[in-house]
Amino acid sequence: MLDTDSFKKAFLIELDKAASMAELQQVRIKYLGKRGLLTAQLKNLSTMPAEEKRSFGKAVNELKGFVENEIDLKEAALSNADLKKRLSSETIDVTLPGKYTPIGREHPINKVLREIEDIFVSMGFGIEEGPQVELDYYNFEA
């Protein structure tokens, strides 16, 4: 017969010792795997008398639910701890703008035009800008 209290205590001790996902997986395999302790108890169910099957099966299934729930909780806690550790170790702030890398150079014609403008401005001339092409109205009719 299965002693559920001692089984739970042994399981919880092993579960507390599991500090990584790999160790947690080993605990899961030990208790819930094909050759696990709970699976072996469920296989023993077929050799029991009919009167004991119902109560024993109920106890084993409740124990299995407890084990699955505790393993899921531990897995969530380990994944949260792993995420927090990863986030604290990463020092990159993704909200900051990236490094500016200038692309290309100023066109030689634009560079010469700017230099010529600077020369004329230094001599006292002003730079006036207007449309490159006048409309027909302004050239012939006005």
Q: What pLDDT is recorded for position 1?
A: 56
- The mean pLDDT value for 84-109 works out to 85
- The mean pLDDT value for 55-80 works out to 90
How many independent structural domains does the chain possess?
Answer: 2
Residue (of 73, 48, 72) closest to 60 by Cα position: 48
- For the chain, the distance separating the N- and C-terminal CA atoms, rounded to the nearest angstrom, is 113
Joined together, the tokens standing for residue 21 give 């996902």
Report the C-alpha gap between 2 and 140 in whole angstroms.
Answer: 110
Residues 114, 80 share a domain: no
- Is the pLDDT at 127 greater than 70? The verdict is yes
Residues 74, 117 share a domain: no
- Is the pLDDT at 67 greater than 80? The verdict is yes
Report if residue 112 sits inside a domain: yes
Q: Do the Cβ atoms of 40 and 30 come closer than 8 Å?
A: no
Report if residue 26 sits inside a domain: yes
Range of the domain at 42: 4-89
